[in-house]
Structure 1
Amino acid sequence: MLAKSPVVVAVKRAQCHEESPPETQISSSSDSEPESLQVGWDGGDDDPLCPRSFSKPKKWLIVAIVSMACFCVTAASSIYTSTYQQMEESFGNSRKVSVLGLSLFVLGIGCGPLFFSPLSEFFGRRPVYLVAWSLYVIWTIPQAVATNIVTMLVARFLAAFSGSTFLAVAGGTVGDLFSKDQLQYPMAIFTVSPFIGPCIGPIIGGFINYNTHWRWTYYVMLMWSVLLLVAIAFLVPETFHPAVLRRKAKLLRQSTGDSRWRAPIEEQDKSILGAVGKSLKRPFQLLIFEPMCLSLCIFSALLLGILYLFFGAFPLIFHTHHHFNLWQVGLSFLGIGVGLIAGVLTDPVWSRVRLHYVSILAESSGKPSNGEPEFRLPPAIFGSLLVPLGLFVFAWTTYPSIHWIVPIVGSAVFGMGNILVFTGIFAFLVDAYPDYAASALAANACVRCVFAAAFPLFGNEMYVTLGFQWASSLLAFLTLAMVPFPFLFFKYGKRIRSKSRMAKN
């Protein structure tokens, strides 16, 4: 009977690809208790229920949908900036209050993952996606029909809080679908999508608000998010391996009548409150006790803060000196977007650089090696040099006598350096803190979003007070002060990790 059942085929505990534990385990806590048969994958990719056995088109379709959701959320953060003038005429609020809507949205993006990420460990990715994105759609509606600024501010925070789920969980979905040797390109697409979103948002918003009423900004976002909800509901299956195995164990129990079949997740002794509490506590432990984590998080946070500050600075600069209208100001963000994409396209170069260092280490030690976490930092080192260079070029070419393309080229250099620093830091944190990788990335996201929420609040006043050139130069000097950290950690990171209680050593 077992051999004939379509779902009983997968009773071995062989995980997909490189994750291949022993075959099905039979355990018993005592002689009086029934034995437990632990369910796993059968034959790796040959198991039809294993997410890594999906066809390539299906895998890439799922990656495209979850990446588009990340893109949509971050685009919603910046598309709001194009509604300022019309919205202020409708609500009668000041520009400082309008900017608060941008800051609250970014703050919501930072807070949401701390709550939703642990839930995906219990319920799987699909239920969390469906609930969170449904809430995102619901909270987009008040933004479209708001009659006062308070409604707008509250709805934006709650929408960001819900939509941020994809920024935290979707990377896990990509990892569920692809093995390590196939992960580079799908993960690159997922990584760049949240960064491209803020650059495209003002472009879309600029055309909408130049040609029609500001509420159409949210009508468009609502239609976009509803289409994504339909795509998530019908095209994105459960990919979290423990959750899929739980469903498989349930099918086995139903088809065989044997209640001993159990999935590993069903035998975990964890509580939801405990997981959420740990998710809230551990990132702050890393920031307090790990100087490498804190320094790199501050560096990436500074860069994101500058990016969101530019949503106020670009309209000020290009409207004042080059007389750009609303949609032209939106197009000025294409420079940063092009820089981000160019940075992602250099990923194969940095992979070869890392392999070079790995081979040197293997030769010197006389045994095979996977390399050190510090070998992930070269793109961050190069990017840390590009960032202040791009900012200085941008700063001192914002005169009316200089063609507008020159500062946009400077912003592209900044964008390229930006993504290189981010990818290098993310990869290093995951590799240096393997047991706390999710917490390290959560700590990074938390600090980044605090900076991104704070910078727009003083950006306009800083540019008016210091002048366009010196305000941008001040930002460049701040990034210049952070340049030594990737160099220092590349050279001395192993020694620092040896004294750490949380890093790999």
Structure 2
Amino acid sequence: MASSKNQDDIEAAPDPVVVELAKIPTPTTTTVTKGSDPFLVTFNQPYDEENPLDWPTGRKWMVTDVLSATGFNRIMVSTIMAPALSTIANELNMSSTESAMSLSIYLLATVFGPPLIGPLSEIYGRQVILHASNVWFLVWNIVCGFAPTKGTLIAARFLAGFGASAIYSLAGGVLGDVWRPEQRGSSLGVYLIIPLLGAAVGPIIGGFMAARTTWRWMFWATSAFQAVMIFVSFFSFHESYAPLILRRRAQRLREETGESRIHTQGEIIDGGRSTIAVIVRALTRPLRLLLFHPIIQISAVLSGFNYGILYVVLSTFSTLFTSQYGQSVEISGLHYIACSLGELAASQVGAPLMDYLYKRLPAHKQVPESRMPLMFPSILITWAGALMYGWTAAYQLHWITVDIGVFIMLFGMQLGGLPTTAYVIDTYGDHTSSAMAAQQFVKSLMAFLFPLFAPSMYSKLGYGWGNSVLALAGLVLAVPLPIFLWKYGARLRSKAASTY
């Protein structure tokens, strides 16, 4: 029970149930107030120990770190088998198309997972969805390691990717649950440290495993790590979804007092709908956001294009150094370090900068649109890096210049990705997971599709002109869309507030 210091806010009544209700915390919602509804259950102000936003800092970081480490493993598995594709194809009698499918189908699964998993976390909570997806991913990743046929491997990769995709919708939701807007940058910066390593470290580890042992150890080793993370998360990951915490509090009060009129704001919104109706409404939310919300459409296009280009780089980078620079598979994989360093540097520079700029604003200007200015320098940095990477590779200049170009390119992408993510978290509140799921649908689709045309594009245009085309397309998208959000975002948010 919360403290009774807010009893003055509750209307007096002879009914002893109302006396008990005096212990219910004061509201945070502006829709219904305690004065107008004494049966409304909300968090105590200014502090409530059950409110995730009021958790001790140590617990917040623990939850963030568990997500980060879980994200690292799931993202690493998406690319770890890239250097071993030819070996796997020979052993399982796969064509080149089938071997490429065994890699990319994992990403295809992440197209469909978040729109289902994200909304479920807004019904059943973050905790149960994280644990369930952890176990699901572990089971199918183990199957990948023991796959006797190409069909088994491809199917297991898809199912493992489906479970792994939970992190894409959960991460933004949980960070929004426990961190306040002025801490958005620092929390994103710390969360991203480990997952950003995953996509690039995967091919490095995979390259050495492919050269020195069976490719199956790629899946066995990552499964062992996943088993450890399941154990750790079971004891250290606390439920962070505020509406669920309040529903549990309301249920506890109804049982203790016998007063059936006790309710939460979420239960008011559900309006007495059946369980099936609530689930259907939640599961269709990502689709409705994607179809009818310009904020999601624009952020999805911006982040999706960059995500697609990232996987173009990840899927072709090793081949560049083996084919044009004559390096071994093991050594070519080390160049992915430049990719990781670019993203890591951007997260550690951009995150505190975003918080610094936000806190310097007067209170009335601390709105989601204030994130947008950080995107503009990222545009120039990203596509200047893409041109440097493309043309230094085209002229086969020293490999370090290629790595520097990729470093600059991915630094710019990540610098622009931070404010985009923060904007969505700030805007969609309790439904951040659904919003991130809608965004991730486009991102994963682009990550799946873009690498399919990358080899033929570079074969016909070369790395120089190929990257020039990508840079031109990037500029066409990246310049007007953030300006549009910066100028009209507040109006769009006000219109969209009650439509999801």
Alignment of 1:226-265 (within 5 A): 226-252=227-253, 256=256, 258=258, 260=260, 262=262, 264=264
Label 1:325 to 1:25 Cα distance change in 2 as closer, same or farther (>3 A).
farther
Structure 2 partner of 1:311: 314
SS in 2 for 1:323: coil
Q: Quick check: 1:347 aligned with 2:351?
A: yes
Q: Give the Cα separation in 2 of the matches to 1:14 and 1:196.
A: 43
Label 1:197 to 1:404 Cα distance change in 2 as closer, same or farther (>3 A).
same
Could you tell me how far 1:215 is from its partner in structure 2?
0.1
Question: Residue type matched to 1:190 in 2?
Answer: Y
SS in 2 for 1:14: coil
Of 366, 369, 372, the match for 2:364:
369
SS in 2 for 1:348: helix
Structure 2 partner of 1:149: 150
Q: Quick check: 1:338 aligned with 2:341?
A: yes
Label 1:179 to 1:128 Cα distance change in 2 as closer, same or farther (>3 A).
same
Label 1:118 to 1:346 Cα distance change in 2 as closer, same or farther (>3 A).
closer
Q: Quick check: 1:110 aligned with 2:120?
A: no
Q: Give the Cα separation in 2 of the matches to 1:258 and 1:500.
A: 39
Q: Any stretches of 5+ residues in structure 1 without a counterpart?
A: 28-36, 360-367
Q: Give the Cα separation in 2 of the matches to 1:2 and 1:323.
A: 67
Label 1:262 to 1:45 Cα distance change in 2 as closer, same or farther (>3 A).
same
Q: Give the Cα separation in 1 of the matches to 2:2 and 2:170.
A: 35
Q: Give the Cα separation in 1 of the matches to 2:418 and 2:317.
A: 25
Q: Give the Cα separation in 2 of the matches to 1:162 and 1:10.
A: 43
Label 1:14 to 1:172 Cα distance change in 2 as closer, same or farther (>3 A).
farther
User: TM (normalized to structure 2)?
Assistant: 0.84
Q: Contact conserved, 1:117 with 1:169, CA < 8 A, in 2?
A: yes
Q: Quick check: 1:452 aligned with 2:453?
A: no
Could you tell me how far 1:304 is from its partner in structure 2?
0.8
Structure 2 partner of 1:13: 25
Alignment of 1:256-405 (within 5 A): 256=256, 258=258, 260=260, 262=262, 264=264, 268=270, 269-271=272-274, 273-275=276-278, 277-279=280-282, 281-289=284-292, 293-344=296-347, 345-354=349-358, 358-359=361-362, 369-371=364-366, 373-398=368-393, 401-405=396-400
Question: Residue type matched to 1:445 in 2?
Answer: Q
Worse-superposed segment, 308-317 or 211-220: 308-317
Could you tell me how far 1:483 is from its partner in structure 2?
3.4
Structure 1 partner of 2:92: 91
Worse-superposed segment, 433-442 or 74-83: 433-442
Q: Contact conserved, 1:199 with 1:336, CA < 8 A, in 2?
A: yes
Could you tell me how far 1:305 is from its partner in structure 2?
0.9
Label 1:2 to 1:13 Cα distance change in 2 as closer, same or farther (>3 A).
closer
Label 1:144 to 1:9 Cα distance change in 2 as closer, same or farther (>3 A).
farther
Deviation per CA, 1:254-304: give whole Å up to 9, x if none. 6x4645484525664345544554455454555555556434422321211
Q: Give the Cα separation in 2 of the matches to 1:120 and 1:290.
A: 21
Label 1:218 to 1:498 Cα distance change in 2 as closer, same or farther (>3 A).
closer
Structure 2 partner of 1:77: 78
SS in 2 for 1:396: helix
Question: What is the percentage of aligned positions where both structures have the same residue?
Answer: 26
Structure 1 partner of 2:496: 502
Label 1:278 to 1:68 Cα distance change in 2 as closer, same or farther (>3 A).
same
Q: Contact conserved, 2:136 with 2:160, CA < 8 A, in 1?
A: yes
Q: Give the Cα separation in 2 of the matches to 1:183 and 1:9.
A: 34
Q: Give the Cα separation in 1 of the matches to 2:2 and 2:215.
A: 62
Label 1:95 to 1:484 Cα distance change in 2 as closer, same or farther (>3 A).
same
Which has the higher relative contact order, 1 or 2, with Cα contacts under 8 A spaced 6 or more apart? 2
Q: Give the Cα separation in 1 of the matches to 2:492 and 2:43.
A: 37
Q: Contact conserved, 2:321 with 2:327, CA < 8 A, in 1?
A: yes
Q: Give the Cα separation in 1 of the matches to 2:280 and 2:259.
A: 33
Q: Contact conserved, 1:376 with 1:424, CA < 8 A, in 2?
A: yes
Label 1:371 to 1:385 Cα distance change in 2 as closer, same or farther (>3 A).
same
Deviation per CA, 1:53-100: give whole Å up to 9, x if none. 543333212210112112221111111212212211111112222222
Of 415, 421, 442, the match for 2:410:
415
Deviation per CA, 1:472-497: give whole Å up to 9, x if none. 333223223223224632664369x4
Label 1:3 to 1:288 Cα distance change in 2 as closer, same or farther (>3 A).
closer
Structure 1 partner of 2:419: 424
SS in 2 for 1:369: helix
Q: Contact conserved, 2:375 with 2:419, CA < 8 A, in 1?
A: yes
User: TM (normalized to structure 1)?
Assistant: 0.83
Q: Contact conserved, 2:34 with 2:40, CA < 8 A, in 1?
A: no
Q: Give the Cα separation in 1 of the matches to 2:222 and 2:479.
A: 41
Alignment of 1:150-165 (within 5 A): 150-165=151-166
Q: Contact conserved, 2:119 with 2:434, CA < 8 A, in 1?
A: no
SS in 2 for 1:207: helix
Q: Give the Cα separation in 2 of the matches to 1:447 and 1:3.
A: 46
Question: Residue type matched to 1:174 in 2?
Answer: L
Of 452, 455, 467, the match for 1:472:
467
Q: Contact conserved, 2:200 with 2:314, CA < 8 A, in 1?
A: no
Q: Give the Cα separation in 2 of the matches to 1:158 and 1:65.
A: 22
Question: Residue type matched to 1:294 in 2?
Answer: Q
Could you tell me how far 1:102 is from its partner in structure 2?
2.9
Q: Give the Cα separation in 2 of the matches to 1:412 and 1:438.
A: 30
Could you tell me how far 1:316 is from its partner in structure 2?
1.4
Structure 1 partner of 2:15: none
Could you tell me how far 1:314 is from its partner in structure 2?
0.9
Q: Contact conserved, 2:140 with 2:156, CA < 8 A, in 1?
A: yes
Alignment of 1:184-203 (within 5 A): 184-191=185-192, 193-203=194-204
Aligned residues: 479
Could you tell me how far 1:416 is from its partner in structure 2?
0.9
Could you tell me how far 1:377 is from its partner in structure 2?
1.4
SS in 1 for 2:238: coil
Q: Contact conserved, 2:86 with 2:99, CA < 8 A, in 1?
A: no
Q: Give the Cα separation in 1 of the matches to 2:316 and 2:253.
A: 60
Q: Give the Cα separation in 1 of the matches to 2:219 and 2:252.
A: 43
Label 1:411 to 1:58 Cα distance change in 2 as closer, same or farther (>3 A).
same
Q: Give the Cα separation in 1 of the matches to 2:183 and 2:482.
A: 29
Considering only aligned residues, what root-mean-square deviation do their CA atoms show, in Å?
A: 3.5
Question: Residue type matched to 1:335 in 2?
Answer: A
